[in-house]
Structure 1
Amino acid sequence: MDNREGIQPESMNPLPGSTPLNANGKPAEGLHEGLPPEPETGAEADAGFFSTSNLIMLGLLGALFAYLLYKFSFEELLNIVKAALGLSFVIFIHELGHFLAAKWCGVNVTTFSIGFGPPIPGCSFQWGETTYKLAILPLGGYVQMVGQIDGDEGADDDDDPRSYRKKTVGQRMLIISAGVIMNAILAVGCFIYVYQGPGKEYLSSAVYAIDSHGPLFEQAVHTGTLITKIGNIDNPTFTDLKQTVVFTRGKDKIPLVFQLPGKDPLAIEIESRKGKGDLMRAIGVKPASKPQLVSRRDAESGPWVPGTSAAAAGFEWDDVIVAMTDPENPERISALPDDPRFPKQGQRDYFEFARRLQLLAAQDITIRVQRKAGESIKEVDVKVAPMYRPKLGIVMHIGSILAVREGSAAHNKVKAPDPAKKLHGDLIDEVKVVPADDTIVAELKTVDPERLPHVLRQWSDRLDKTKFAGDRLVTLKLRRHADRPGAQFDNVEVTLKWDDAWRFDRVLPFSPSSPMPIPELGLAYEIRSIIAQVTDPSSKLEVGDVIKDLKFDEQGPTKDILGKWSGAEIEEGQWAFYSNVFQYPRNIKKLYVKVERSVQGKKEIVELEVPLTLDKSWPLTERGWWLANDMRRVKADNSWHAIQLGFAETRTSMMQVFFTLRGILTGDIDKKVIAGPLRIAYGTYRFASMDFAELVFFLGLISINLAVVNFLPIPILDGGHMVFLVYEKIRGQPASEAVRIWATYAGLAMILALMLFVLFGDVTWLFF
């Protein structure tokens, strides 16, 4: 099982804090992030530390600390501490920028706090005019200045020449923007450190799989190919591709160049798409894996799915696959060749590994791995049994053909009423093949849309074994929407040549709107969620039932994992996507479905348990292992190169945040991608569990996110303050007090609404 989606730090947008109001309904003094500070001196804070509210806070923190000690190991606790300190440091640097700029401009800074709340006893001191303290909640910090609120005529610091309000507009602009500037400097420093040191690993641009309803399928891109150019970017990474797609809108063209080993380069231009239910625009491609099991840090339970053949075989973390059963001689184990996409780098060819798995799907296989044994490496042969697809005992209705690959047998053979769409609307009624055998004739009596690609592939494989050298032809009897009055459909027959060059391409339904592909014919069709036939007499499902949702209980690492309803209603033509769930190895204990059923003329929703058996005629390609992503390390050649890479990464990250926010506003990106404090904390914890360089790089990304988001023109954020200062510079006087108070309330409402939204998203993501 490949390409587990990891944390995508590009989409994590930190939630800025909020500004409190004083008794006059005006924003309280102090530039800060996170929780509002209490204006207090060090002596007053120490005297009131043991107040009732503080004791309650101490009790809650103590209970949290005790829970962490009970729940986590020492190593996990250390990672939590590293994550907390890292996030605090990012926000501390932001406040340090405000502090240094204020001091440089001669503003009286009364408090500089690391953390919020009362100071820890003994961790507060006065140095000059400023109280420095380490507060009980280490979640950032704040700077408190005299007279921060511009134009507050009622303040008692009118005659103080060191008041923030007495400074020029330019000086106040510097103070306001200094936090963002420091965040940008921190990000550049983080990126330079990583590129100068160990370097940064990125997903390679090798194509593992493509979407059956995406532009790459339609433009005849093979899986196993390498993206060698994106626009003006040579030798790009998969991250470059994701960022390029995020930057696009509507009909924007993305120029790409693909290179398949041993073939001429393929240059195309495509448009990104956003289907119903998709979180963001995409081009329908997934990055490749490599023939190596994941490391311990990248999986939560094991390097395999519990209850699968891979779990029973005894694979271990970081096993490197170097050889396996030879399909041409199953009694022999042969080495996997080096990857031709990245020659002389010591990595085996994942796509040859995948090809052999498909050919040997129904057989026991032996996989030879290199495994660490202390300081040495040993080779171990692991025997792995086949796995089979669960059988639901039903046949679904086939839907219309939705996609055709350019240059394929189906291209220009099947024409829809609208020629520009090539195919939409044609329905497959019958399938015949030449040459036929008894097995294929029996299997094609009923067109099972889920099994059809597998049945045709098995037919072609049987012909391979007989050394058949002629054309392999597939005839489709179609119903086509008639374009003449009084007729609904025309019956049409088309004969397509089976193209085995696409036998090993991994074309999948990525999203609910994606159809079921047959790459060898160059087409893909819908599967309707309506039951056409019930083949299991013990099933409680009925013909005509419409499947609306499903869930399943499956074996977990220590106990069964109980399924939950997705909550997203399956629409009529979306069963291809949900059917694909059963193509991956998992030990499903029980399957439940919600169906819409007509009962005495009324439609009702009925929940049923569906009996499952294994379909021994349908072996799975995968056997339950988790394979590591194919990564490529980017490292600077020298210090100047590291500086160039650091600034380039900072610029790209800033643009990523900006275009993500733009996409959310335009609807190109779903609001669910915004990560709140819980997801950011979890992401930081995950990176803290990796090596130090990964954590540093991630903190650089968080710092850039904080800089961009904090400088948005929203009242109470730094960007909102800057808008009022620009207004004052142009008009020669500040905005009226009424306008500023109204803007503050509006800004507070926006931030509180955003906070509630992202917290709800975080809780849903973590617990549901």
Structure 2
Amino acid sequence: MEVELSSLLLGTFTSKIINIAMVALGLGLVIFFHELGHFAVAKWCNVKVERFSIGFGPIIYSFKYGETEYALSIIPFGGYVKMLGQDDVDPSQLTSEEIALDPRSYSAKPVYQRMGIISAGVIMNIVTGMLFFAFAFRMGVESMPSVIGAAIPGMPAWESGIQPGDVIEEIDGKKTSSYMDIIRSSAFSDGDITMAGTHLDGQKFDIKITPDQTGTRPQIGTIPSNSLRIPVFQDPAQSVASKGTAAAKAEPGFLGGDTFKTIDGKAIKNYAELQRTFAAKSNQTLKIGVNRKGTPPTEIVEISVGNNPFRTLGLQMDIGPIESIQQGSPAERAGLKVGDKITHIDNQDVGQALNPLKLPNYFSGKVGETIPIVVKRQEAGSDPTEVNLNVVPIDNPAWLEHPYKTDTPLAVGSIGIAFHVIPTVLKVEEGSPAAKAGIKVNERIKKIKIMLPGKDTAADWNNIPEVTYEFDDKDKKMNWASAFWEMQVRPGWPVELTVSNKRQLREVKMTPWVNPNQEKGEQWSLPVRGIRLELLRETQKADSMGQALGMGVRYTSNSAKDIYLTLKSLFTGRVSPLELSGPVTIATVAYEVAHQGYSELLLFLGFLSVNLAVLNFLPIPVLDGGHMVFLCWEGITRKRPNEKVLAAATYVGMIFVLGLMLFVLYLDIFLRALS
């Protein structure tokens, strides 16, 4: 056993070293080919190249061949070709009459040759990017199909009626090729977008959606679909089932590579069906049939998996106003409006008799029945009034649409509403952890911290971190439902509450419980079992090298358009600068895609190469595009730029580029790596 474990760890370590080496080689090639373009055309134009460097700053290794010094510099975020008469650090060389007299200097060459030298790096990156893409598609590239895994409650897609399992086939009249088309169309749209496709039940839809503008980029609020396959992890510390869940206790256990085939003998075709079945049978023990990796497709292993009961503190909170209503839902047909606060359901008080967190279960258990609802409605310029309505729930399992983000409201899918839960205590369950901690009615929770249990580390829980929610009185959302869901993701973790009784604050600690007074068949249970699944992917593979080159050209064109649209959106404010990534993130992503395979790494390097080409050709001094602007000026006016103007512009460009580099490094290190 020790020998097997040592071999596994050695294999994992070797794999990591190989991935790091591949990333370093790939990133180095992108930079090398860019500088090689400048170098080759400069030599062709008989310009003296004094240094060819990969990287910036102090030189760590160099050698001289002929008249050129070839160097490797310490800062690996770029490179440069230093030619006689062209030096970004000393822009005066471009206007020096003495250097211009040397026939082999850059500044002595005609404008068209200098334009060729400057543009060669960009052209080389476009060509190599296209080749990277072509080789990737010849090998076969896995991409996420445009299948919806979930619509986030309260977001535009959810409000428009998008459901798990929906396939988006067209966006604004253009056919989709992957899930990235959904993200791209949302982020770069100037207004509404039209989506056409097929629902899980086979019905066609054609809807108009207005992307949400409140985040760092416009989005409609969808999540890509998972597959039915459990991932195979190289890291032995990674588990296929979340610790403390029913899946971790299943008999026999789940294994990496298992693929879901049946539940209770019924075939499961896709992830959306799996979700609905888990949610609809949340409190039942299920017989799950899987096909094991390496066995015939018809060979099924049955695994018994119990339910995951909700863990609570024994608190019933206040319900917030309705945040969102789905189009065409029972709630819309009944006359419910955004801003209504539900006070009574079936003549029962919401908050005292009915727990707001259990409303998804309450309505899903009364499908087809007419349910009387009383809401408090605030009309503009008038006092709140009570409105009596009737709603008829449809068949949609409870908690199927759970809080996916920290500010996601709680959805009641069977009637099509979403609301926040306010952390004001309206009832304390007898004998519960909250009751034992002395929490009283009308007290308010100001903060909840969900902490790792005992001596456990985040690594013991598949790197799930501790989490803290602070509830500000000025925040209308007051996301208790999101915090409550985070407790379920961390079963058995202790919590620390900061409680306010208007006079003072106090901190209390407790561990969530599963109410022992509930019968097993009546347990309030989660819509998930704790099984980790791979993202749904499909392979795009060219049948010939000619087809691969065609796909590479299209992918290069689309990538360049995406970059320009991103820049446009940054300048217009539609996309936040916080969406930018720096060298740390780029290296991290490169490592992750290298782990997925050579084709994924080639695809990433192709995108990086095109990205470098586009950004380098922006009209910013010290970049190739800035040099091209000055050359165009010289070509039109027949005069070299004024030395002072050129120097000032160059230093401004340097300050901008260095400032941008520091900004993206800050994002990488402090907003991503430490978050």
Using structure 1 for the length normalisation, give the TM-score. Answer: 0.77
**Is 1:589 the counterpart of 2:497 in the alignment?**
no
Could you tell me how far 1:89 is from its partner in structure 2?
0.9
Could you say which residue in structure 2 is the equivalent of 1:431?
Answer: 345
Deviations 1:46-80 (A, max 9, x none): xxxxxxxxxxxxxxxxxxxxxxx999812211211
In 2: Cα distance, 1:569 partner to 1:96 partner: 56
Gap change, CA 1:564 and 1:514, over 3 Å in 2 = closer
Contact 1:585 1:620 in 2 (8 A): no
Could you tell me how far 1:352 is from its partner in structure 2?
2.6
Gap change, CA 1:175 and 1:237, over 3 Å in 2 = same
Q: Secondary structure at the match of 2:99?
A: coil
**Matched letter for residue 392 of structure 1:** L
Identify which of 82, 87, 92 aligns with 1:144.
82
Identify which of 163, 172, 194 aligns with 2:114.
172
Gap change, CA 1:75 and 1:510, over 3 Å in 2 = closer
Could you say which residue in structure 1 is the equivalent of 2:511?
Answer: 611
Gap change, CA 1:498 and 1:72, over 3 Å in 2 = closer
**Is 1:515 the counterpart of 2:409 in the alignment?**
yes
In 1: Cα distance, 2:481 partner to 2:619 partner: 41
Could you say which residue in structure 1 is the equivalent of 2:385?
Answer: 490
Contact 1:272 1:283 in 2 (8 A): yes
In 2: Cα distance, 1:715 partner to 1:732 partner: 20
Contact 2:290 2:301 in 1 (8 A): yes
Could you tell me how far 1:158 is from its partner in structure 2?
3.4
Could you tell me how far 1:594 is from its partner in structure 2?
4.6
Identify which of 364, 367, 386 aligns with 1:457.
364
Deviations 1:69-109 (A, max 9, x none): 99981221121111111111111111111111211222111
Could you tell me how far 1:300 is from its partner in structure 2?
7.3
Contact 2:59 2:72 in 1 (8 A): yes
Identify which of 523, 536, 551 aligns with 1:630.
536
Identify which of 200, 224, 230 aligns with 1:293.
230
Q: Structure 2 matches for 1:135-214, cutoff 5 A?
A: 141-149=79-87, 152=93, 153-154=95-96, 157-195=99-137, 197-214=138-155
Q: Secondary structure at the match of 1:187?
A: helix
Could you tell me how far 1:567 is from its partner in structure 2?
8.1
Could you tell me how far 1:402 is from its partner in structure 2?
2.3
**Is 1:83 the counterpart of 2:83 in the alignment?**
no
Identify which of 64, 68, 73 aligns with 1:130.
68
Q: Secondary structure at the match of 1:266?
A: strand
Contact 1:116 1:136 in 2 (8 A): yes
More strand by share: 1
In 2: Cα distance, 1:657 partner to 1:576 partner: 38
Identify which of 376, 379, 393 aligns with 1:479.
376
Deviations 1:502-530 (A, max 9, x none): 34894344445543221221222232243
Could you tell me how far 1:432 is from its partner in structure 2?
0.7
Q: Percent identity?
A: 30
Could you say which residue in structure 2 is the equivalent of 1:55?
Answer: none
**Matched letter for residue 143 of structure 1:** V
| Structure having greater relative contact order (Cα 8 Å, sep ≥ 6) | 1
Could you tell me how far 1:650 is from its partner in structure 2?
1.0
In 2: Cα distance, 1:652 partner to 1:553 partner: 45
Q: Structure 2 matches for 1:360-439, cutoff 5 A?
A: 360-372=281-293, 379-414=300-335, 423-432=337-346
Deviations 1:146-191 (A, max 9, x none): 0105664457523211111112222222222211111111110011
**Matched letter for residue 759 of structure 1:** L
Could you tell me how far 1:599 is from its partner in structure 2?
2.4
Identify which of 466, 480, 484 aligns with 1:563.
466
Could you tell me how far 1:540 is from its partner in structure 2?
5.2
Could you say which residue in structure 1 is the equivalent of 2:3?
Answer: none
In 2: Cα distance, 1:100 partner to 1:205 partner: 43
Deviations 1:733-768 (A, max 9, x none): 233222222223322222222222222221232233
Contact 1:395 1:448 in 2 (8 A): yes
Q: Secondary structure at the match of 1:267?
A: strand
Gap change, CA 1:489 and 1:133, over 3 Å in 2 = closer
**Is 1:241 the counterpart of 2:179 in the alignment?**
no
Deviations 1:115-152 (A, max 9, x none): 5677777x62423x223345677665431110105664
Contact 1:295 1:628 in 2 (8 A): no
Contact 1:358 1:504 in 2 (8 A): yes
**Is 1:267 the counterpart of 2:206 in the alignment?**
yes
**Is 1:336 the counterpart of 2:267 in the alignment?**
yes
Could you tell me how far 1:646 is from its partner in structure 2?
1.0
In 1: Cα distance, 2:627 partner to 2:499 partner: 55
Contact 2:409 2:482 in 1 (8 A): no
Could you say which residue in structure 2 is the equivalent of 1:528?
Answer: 422
**Is 1:231 the counterpart of 2:172 in the alignment?**
yes
In 1: Cα distance, 2:238 partner to 2:31 partner: 33
In 1: Cα distance, 2:270 partner to 2:512 partner: 36
Could you tell me how far 1:412 is from its partner in structure 2?
4.9
Q: Secondary structure at the match of 1:372?
A: coil
Gap change, CA 1:235 and 1:707, over 3 Å in 2 = closer
Could you tell me which runs of 5 or more consecutive residues in structure 2 were left unpaired when the two chains were aligned.
Answer: 1-8
Could you tell me how far 1:443 is from its partner in structure 2?
8.9
Could you tell me how far 1:310 is from its partner in structure 2?
1.9
Count how many residue pairs are aligned between Structure 1 and Structure 2: 644
Deviations 1:287-317 (A, max 9, x none): 2112111232699722222332223332221
Contact 1:208 1:286 in 2 (8 A): yes
**Matched letter for residue 334 of structure 2:** K
Deviations 1:316-360 (A, max 9, x none): 2111112232xxxxxxxx1425xxxxxxxxxx3323322321232
In 2: Cα distance, 1:130 partner to 1:375 partner: 61
Could you tell me how far 1:698 is from its partner in structure 2?
0.9
Contact 1:550 1:591 in 2 (8 A): yes
In 2: Cα distance, 1:132 partner to 1:584 partner: 58
Identify which of 100, 103, 106 aligns with 2:40.
100
Could you tell me how far 1:672 is from its partner in structure 2?
2.6
**Is 1:598 the counterpart of 2:502 in the alignment?**
yes
Contact 2:196 2:206 in 1 (8 A): yes
Q: Structure 2 matches for 1:640-719, cutoff 5 A?
A: 640-719=546-625
Gap change, CA 1:762 and 1:725, over 3 Å in 2 = same
Could you tell me how far 1:572 is from its partner in structure 2?
3.4
Contact 1:206 1:225 in 2 (8 A): yes
Contact 2:213 2:574 in 1 (8 A): yes
Gap change, CA 1:722 and 1:549, over 3 Å in 2 = farther
Could you tell me how far 1:198 is from its partner in structure 2?
2.7
Contact 2:378 2:384 in 1 (8 A): yes
Contact 2:313 2:513 in 1 (8 A): yes
Gap change, CA 1:295 and 1:70, over 3 Å in 2 = closer
Gap change, CA 1:656 and 1:574, over 3 Å in 2 = farther
Contact 2:408 2:479 in 1 (8 A): no
**Is 1:539 the counterpart of 2:437 in the alignment?**
yes
**Is 1:573 the counterpart of 2:477 in the alignment?**
yes
Could you tell me how far 1:715 is from its partner in structure 2?
2.2
Could you say which residue in structure 2 is the equivalent of 1:20?
Answer: none
Using structure 2 for the length normalisation, give the TM-score. Answer: 0.87
